[in-house]
Amino acid sequence: MTQHALLNDKDHRDLRVITRRGAAYGDDAMYTPTFPAEFRSIQAHFPIVFAKSREGTFNPLALFGFRDRQNLFLQGDRWDTLYLPMMVERLPFLIGNSKAGKVIHIDLDSPRVSRTEGELLFREAGGNTEYLERVGSMLAAIDEGMSATPAFIAALLEHDLLESFALDIDFNDGTQNRFAGFHTVQEERLAQLGAEALGKLNQSGFLLPIYMVVASLSNFRGMIDRANRLNAADR
């Protein structure tokens, strides 16, 4: 359940947000949405893949696991990477629209929302805390990044650069898994693009994030190693 409310210092003055990590707070997710402006940070830790919706649109994702509710980067109450994706870190907040412009909403049903522990949102004397100011800046970056994503996807489709893929994994415990259902960049097609197409992609700011997607796929090896260690620990 969710209960979104427009954040304000009258109704929510005493609210706090728990920032520690853990499955109890929804961190046991297989992936999270991301956007091209974040790809440079994402590719250092997670594979970037694309999910195709029923309507035929594509959305970039940072991948954390091979099955539903598996996050191989979550170690108890610790996120085992140097970078936390923005769409994970921003919870339980989201950005909304009003006649006055962009506003911050909060999910009051989130397990992160508390009145007894966590980061305060408003100062006792009035005004936002530094934590809430950081949240506002992060939400603005997410909103801008998400707004630019459709044009990036359109460019990939224009050059026929997305393809579905399957990854057959043999784990150390003898089990096998076929990871499929997602898309990635078709490297051979990318390599065949001419100077005009590459120049157009570069001028639009799309060429670098495309290569970040390609580079991110090397993280599958690390994910498999993490899964093998987890399987061994469970035996």
- Calpha distance 60→38 (Å, rounded): 11
The counts of H helices and E strands in the chain are: 7, 13
Cβ neighbour number for residue 169 with a 10 Å cutoff: 15
The more confident residue out of 176 and 29 is 29
Angle at 39 between CA 56 and CA 88, to 5 degrees: 80
Angle between helices 195-203 and 207-216 (to 10 degrees): 100
Average pLDDT over residues 152-157: 98
Per-residue pLDDT tens digits for 11-68: 899 999 999 999 999 999 999 999 999 999 999 999 999 999 999 999 999 999 999 9
Per-residue pLDDT tens digits for 103-150: 999 999 999 999 999 999 999 888 999 999 999 999 999 999 999 999
Q: Which has the closest alpha carbon to 63: 55, 52, 73, 53?
A: 73
> 10-14, 90-94, 194-198: lowest mean pLDDT where?
10-14
Q: What is the pLDDT of residue 203?
A: 96
Q: What are the extents of the domains in the chain?
A: 4-230
pLDDT for residue 228 is more than 70: yes
Q: How confident is the model at residue 230 (pLDDT cuts 50, 70, 90)?
A: confident
Q: Look up tokens 């870190």; give the residue.
A: 89
Take residue 132 and report the two structure tokens written for it. Answer: 């809430």
Q: What is the pLDDT of residue 232?
A: 80
Q: Kindly tell me the burial class for residue 116, based on how many C-beta atoms sit within 10 Å of its own C-beta (0-12, 13-18, 19 or more).
A: exposed
- Helix segments in the chain, DSSP class H: 39-42, 86-89, 130-158, 187-191, 195-203, 207-216, 219-234
pLDDT for residue 96 is more than 90: no
pLDDT for residue 235 is more than 70: no
Q: Look up tokens 């096998």; give the residue.
A: 176
Per-residue pLDDT tens digits for 65-85: 999 999 999 999 899 999 999
